[in-house]
Structure 1
Amino acid sequence: MAKSTLPRSTNGLGYLNLEDNVDSIWNLSPPELYEEAIRNGEAILTGDYVLRVMTGKYTGRSPADRFIVDQPSIHDDIDWGSINQPITEEVFEHLFSEVTAYLCNRKLYVKDCYAGADEKYQLNVRVVSEAAYHSLFAHNMFVRPSEEALKNHIPDFTVLAAPHFKADPSRDGTSSEAFILINFEKKLILIGGTLYSGEVKKGIFYVMNYLLPQQQVMAMHCSANTNDEGNAALFFGLSGTGKTTLSSDESRILIGDDEHGWSEDGIFNIEGGCYAKTINLSAENEPLIYATTKIPGTILENVALDEDRRPDFTDVSLTQNTRCAYPIHYIPNASDDGTGHHPSNVIFLTCDAFGVLPPISRLTPEQAMYHFISGYTAKIAGTERGVAAPKATFSACFGAPFMPLHPVRYATLLADKLRQHNTSVWFLNTGWTGGPHGVGRRMSLPDTRRILSEVLSGNIEKTTFKKDPIFGLSIPVEVQGVPGDILDPRNSWDNSAAYNRKANQLASMFAENFAQYEQEVSKNITEAGPKI
């Protein structure tokens, strides 16, 4: 049996009813976890000595299988519904008993770590799993304690994962064989039936999104970077909008690529690593991320390999959600401490497949609230089964699946931060111009990067802005180095009547989606939306 070279906490597994397990291995190093994962048949090595794992049936999160244990202490706080689904304490206790009995005589891998780079708001996390690769994933993705801290690590929240234990919905009260159960009173996330490691990461993020607002800290699904002068920026966006790509800028310091807090002291990374999508990843377009896929210690998830065991990032035969997980210090320009000053700029990213939103626009405080609550992007044909044409998608706070509280709670907290620190808010479209998907063309990455550079440098403030009549957005008349015809999408279409029809169609979708929030926000926020 492997023996860890790192300390084991004096706080054992008795609280998980696993005190009799004699085959638990604590805080193995990455090389040791490599050996375990390969020995267990969980992974193979690529030609660059990176660990490649296949997660089987579940190649992404399973939101229909995640439940929150409904308890009096949290009942009035949770925004219950199709996203935050309740489950009874009886169902949880039954499954907890089943899972611990199953794990009692199995080899377990324990990894102690932190969530939150700012010690004032840090959460002590323990990940216990029958999969060695989950332990390496936790090592990569969370903040790593010192050896001295490991000796007395007391978990504030534990992830207990039994990926090969399958539930019986008729007996266990679940939706399928997979389950992700979050119990705030027991401070435990119980995972079964799925090997996908994103459930581990997002489970802890969900917990932080509940705990941090109670301390007046804004919890955010965003990436963040800064420059040498401390000019920080946040990038909110749903999958496919460029959140990771645009924040990984060689000319700036990366604070984090996915999950952050904004406190009275500034911003801080919740994670200690990056979990980047690798579909169509290339050295030309994303050199920093591409380089990590060749560094030992990185995990490649569900990535196809050629006969020489080199990754083929264009192969999506198994899933489009191919991923790589690596410690953030694999990015050479990453922040040393994962913190930054209060942001000067906040960027809302969208991939507008309708081709009617400008590549960049400035938002008023009311518009910022409206679009943060809306969380708009669009799915395109071919990216998801059943999507035959561009489809508007609204995910509140640009991360609704990870937000246990009502969206307006987060939006109000964000608005307070923006106002207090005089932060500018921008809407950046990385989608289509000159027509919808299939007619127009995708915004070029060099143009997007150039626009973003002008925003972060403050140069864009020197230009004249004009107001869009439908969306009410302030559009710059000129951006140095960017073709003028793309700045106002109306001018990039050959047929202005066709543009108006498509723009009004999207405006109607915004209004229909926002109707559910109108009773919760002031009239001036509702009126900050598009006008049909």
Structure 2
Amino acid sequence: MKTTEYSFDTAALLAGGNVHYNLPVPVLVQAALKRQEGELASSGALRAFTGKFTGRSPKDKYIVQEASVDGHIAWGAVNQPMAEQHFDRLLAKAAQYMKERELYVFDGFAGADEEYRLPIRVVNEYAWHNLFVRQLFIRPTAEELKEHRAEFTVIALPGLQADPATDGTKSGTFIAVSMEKRIVLIGGTEYAGEMKKSIFSVLNYLLPFRGVFPMHCSANVGDKGDVALFFGLSGTGKTTLSADPNRRLIGDDEHGWSDRGVFNFEGGCYAKCIGLTEEKEPQIWSAIRFGAVLENVVLRPGTQEADYNDGSRTENTRAAYPLESIANAVIPGTAGHPETIVFLTADAFGVLPPIAKLTKEQAMYHFLSGYTSKLAGTERGVTEPETTFSACFGSPFLPLSPSVYAEMLGRKIDEHEARVYLVNTGWSGGPYGVGKRMNLAYTRAMVTAALEGKLEHGEFTPDPVFGVLVPSHVPGVPDEVLQPRSTWEDKQAYDAKARELAERFVSNFGKFADAPEAVRAAGPRLS
């Protein structure tokens, strides 16, 4: 299967228009301010609002049903098909729309490893969107820019609305991916994260055909070259826990794992910043300066200081900044093979242990399950934690069957003898509304102990319900915190909640009937 042929010339769409190519950061900031797209915070960052969309819109995402991809895509609620004629109609509407607009173009790369990187072009209606992608993707050198030829183009036009009656969409909003034309069309939404995640979806399709395992995870590396991966959905702590002052950051969200090692897909970070403090997250705090973008963050009148505790617009407030803003970042974002893999979940039931060791089969089970509680603001309509199972901790971004990615994970664990841990950053002492969110200092201590190998020779006890191996002791963490049942006042209420969550795991895993027997047997024990 060909994965690099570029079959559509988007340059024709831009010919003769008012187009700005690859503007530097200060000029983009000036343009955004002049166009009243945002304002400066006291830190120097550009603050912008994203209108009614403060998170992704997964129900408005489509993949064009083209002959060359039809047999590979896992069609369904996540990968909704769009007819070719509908995409062509939207593309024609976009072409007409762009003729009448001032546009901003960024040329760069997705993928820090030159062997596997994807040259991309992003066309924006908004200057602040172009600043966003410039900070989030990999910026080419002057020499690379001269030779740059995009193999995928994202066209983001928030003001362009689809007509569901004629365009084959569910609403005026659309995120449509054509793998053959190598174009992503985005319209009807100002949420910048759609651009970032659409390219992630594209890489999740292309890279497995090249033997690369694409992952929704953050990654860092220690002084001894020991690489760690952190899988998890938005809000589970990927960015926070990987931004460790004692380790070097490879990237905060999206990576590939090839025969050469791990590489970052991006050149920047997209951190949640609700409740952000300098004391708890000094690296992220310091990265929010001139050139960074703040999304939906409220500024205090008269001071322009960011109020990170104000979630009145959304809990999904974000900061986008280049990787270079993290003092100990790995540039370029490449490293060796991981020694430790961490699965992060924010358990709103409050029954999963705060840390547990997994066998390979348990790792594949929990990877396919992808359990967490979807946190407020990450998607439209989510106002409080909702139980969700998102295969491979990234179901909305997986064009292929989840089994493809799970099998790649299992092979990588075997090949590199990686140890795997499940870490619960959710609730302790009771469910959401009763218990409290896990103490971040405790979580950091547990993760540090796992990365440094301090847990490997300690005692472990199988959890009676979930079967995972719970350590008896972790330095810096009270022993009673490690056993979730002991943190509940009402033990019978814990037992009921644990069984309820276990039943949900088993019910969800029914969709993976083709998983190996050893993997299916690695789930919770209802008896």
Same fold (TM over 0.5): yes
Partner Cα distance (1:438, 1:22) in 2: 54
Q: Of residues 395, 410, 419 in structure 2, which corresponds to 1:400? A: 395
In structure 1, the residue corresponding to 2:215 is in which secondary structure? strand
Partner Cα distance (1:202, 1:77) in 2: 20
Structure 2 portions without partners, runs of 5+: 1-5
Matched, 1:142 2:137: yes
Deviations 1:58-88 (A, max 9, x none): 2211111111000110011111001100000
- 8 Å CA contact 2:316, 2:376 repeated in 1: no
Deviations 1:33-59 (A, max 9, x none): 111111222121122221111121222
In structure 2, the residue corresponding to 1:48 is in which secondary structure? coil
Name 2:507's counterpart in structure 1: 512
Deviation, 1:261, is: 0.2
Name 2:148's counterpart in structure 1: 153
Deviations 1:138-180 (A, max 9, x none): 1100111111111221101001122111122123222111111
Structure 1 residues 396-405 or 371-380, which shifts more?
A: 371-380
Partner Cα distance (1:383, 1:396) in 2: 17
Partner Cα distance (1:433, 1:49) in 2: 38
- 8 Å CA contact 2:316, 2:377 repeated in 1: no
- Runs of 4+ aligned structure 1 residues displaced above 3 Å come to 13-17, 379-391
Matched, 1:469 2:445: no
In structure 2, the residue corresponding to 1:447 is in which secondary structure? helix
Name 1:176's counterpart in structure 2: 171
Instruction: Give the letter aligned to residue 304 of structure 1.
Output: V
Name 1:98's counterpart in structure 2: 93
- 8 Å CA contact 1:357, 1:429 repeated in 2: yes
- TM-score scaled by length of structure 2: 0.95
Instruction: Give the letter aligned to residue 473 of structure 1.
Output: V
Deviations 1:218-240 (A, max 9, x none): 00000000111110100001122
- TM-score scaled by length of structure 1: 0.94
Partner Cα distance (2:490, 2:355) in 1: 21
- 8 Å CA contact 1:451, 1:479 repeated in 2: yes
Deviation, 1:89, is: 0.5
Instruction: Give the letter aligned to residue 503 of structure 1.
Output: A
Name 2:238's counterpart in structure 1: 243
Distance 1:228 1:376, change over 3 A: same
Partner Cα distance (1:382, 1:139) in 2: 24
Name 1:303's counterpart in structure 2: 297
Partner Cα distance (1:210, 1:220) in 2: 12
Partner Cα distance (1:63, 1:384) in 2: 8
Matched, 1:528 2:515: no
Name 2:3's counterpart in structure 1: none
Partner Cα distance (2:424, 2:266) in 1: 26
Instruction: Give the letter aligned to residue 450 of structure 1.
Output: A
- 8 Å CA contact 2:136, 2:321 repeated in 1: yes
Deviation, 1:383, is: 9.2
Name 2:444's counterpart in structure 1: 449
Instruction: Give the letter aligned to residue 82 of structure 1.
Output: A
Deviation, 1:378, is: 2.0
Name 2:34's counterpart in structure 1: 39
- 8 Å CA contact 1:354, 1:390 repeated in 2: no
Name 1:258's counterpart in structure 2: 253
Distance 1:384 1:327, change over 3 A: closer
Instruction: Give the letter aligned to residue 451 of structure 2.
Output: L
Partner Cα distance (2:251, 2:205) in 1: 20
Matched, 1:206 2:195: no
Structure 1 portions without partners, runs of 5+: 1-10
Matched, 1:487 2:482: yes
Structure 1 residues 240-249 or 18-27, which shifts more?
A: 18-27
Partner Cα distance (1:222, 1:379) in 2: 16
Matched, 1:351 2:340: no
In structure 2, the residue corresponding to 1:530 is in which secondary structure? coil
Deviations 1:265-298 (A, max 9, x none): 10000000001111111112111111222x1000
Instruction: Give the letter aligned to residue 88 of structure 2.
Output: E
Distance 1:448 1:470, change over 3 A: same
- 8 Å CA contact 1:21, 1:105 repeated in 2: no
- 8 Å CA contact 1:353, 1:380 repeated in 2: no
Deviations 1:385-407 (A, max 9, x none): 98798642111100100111111
Partner Cα distance (1:288, 1:496) in 2: 39
Instruction: Give the letter aligned to residue 206 of structure 2.
Output: L
- 8 Å CA contact 1:163, 1:192 repeated in 2: yes
Partner Cα distance (2:259, 2:382) in 1: 43
Deviation, 1:446, is: 0.9
Name 1:375's counterpart in structure 2: 370
- 8 Å CA contact 1:350, 1:431 repeated in 2: yes
Partner Cα distance (2:358, 2:103) in 1: 50
Deviation, 1:216, is: 1.0
Deviations 1:92-129 (A, max 9, x none): 11110111011023221111000000000000000011
- 8 Å CA contact 2:83, 2:168 repeated in 1: no
Between the aligned residues of both structures, percent identity stands at 51
- 8 Å CA contact 1:140, 1:327 repeated in 2: yes
Matched, 1:21 2:16: yes
Partner Cα distance (1:68, 1:381) in 2: 27
Q: Of residues 157, 162, 165 in structure 1, which corresponds to 2:160? A: 165
Name 1:288's counterpart in structure 2: 283
Distance 1:387 1:20, change over 3 A: closer
Deviations 1:277-326 (A, max 9, x none): 11111112111111222x10001111111111111111122112111110
Distance 1:355 1:456, change over 3 A: same
Deviations 1:446-475 (A, max 9, x none): 111111111111011121111112111111
- 8 Å CA contact 2:471, 2:482 repeated in 1: yes
Instruction: Give the letter aligned to residue 151 of structure 1.
Output: K
- 8 Å CA contact 2:54, 2:377 repeated in 1: no
- 8 Å CA contact 2:216, 2:231 repeated in 1: yes
- 8 Å CA contact 2:367, 2:391 repeated in 1: yes
Instruction: Give the letter aligned to residue 204 of structure 1.
Output: I
Partner Cα distance (2:140, 2:52) in 1: 33
Distance 1:381 1:299, change over 3 A: closer
In structure 1, the residue corresponding to 2:275 is in which secondary structure? coil
In structure 1, the residue corresponding to 2:294 is in which secondary structure? strand
Deviation, 1:16, is: 4.8
Instruction: Give the letter aligned to residue 31 of structure 2.
Output: E
Structure 1 residues 312-321 or 490-499, which shifts more?
A: 490-499
Partner Cα distance (1:47, 1:382) in 2: 25
- Number of aligned residues: 519
In structure 1, the residue corresponding to 2:234 is in which secondary structure? coil
Distance 1:19 1:110, change over 3 A: closer
In structure 2, the residue corresponding to 1:362 is in which secondary structure? strand
Deviation, 1:17, is: 3.2
Structure 1 residues 93-102 or 434-443, which shifts more?
A: 434-443
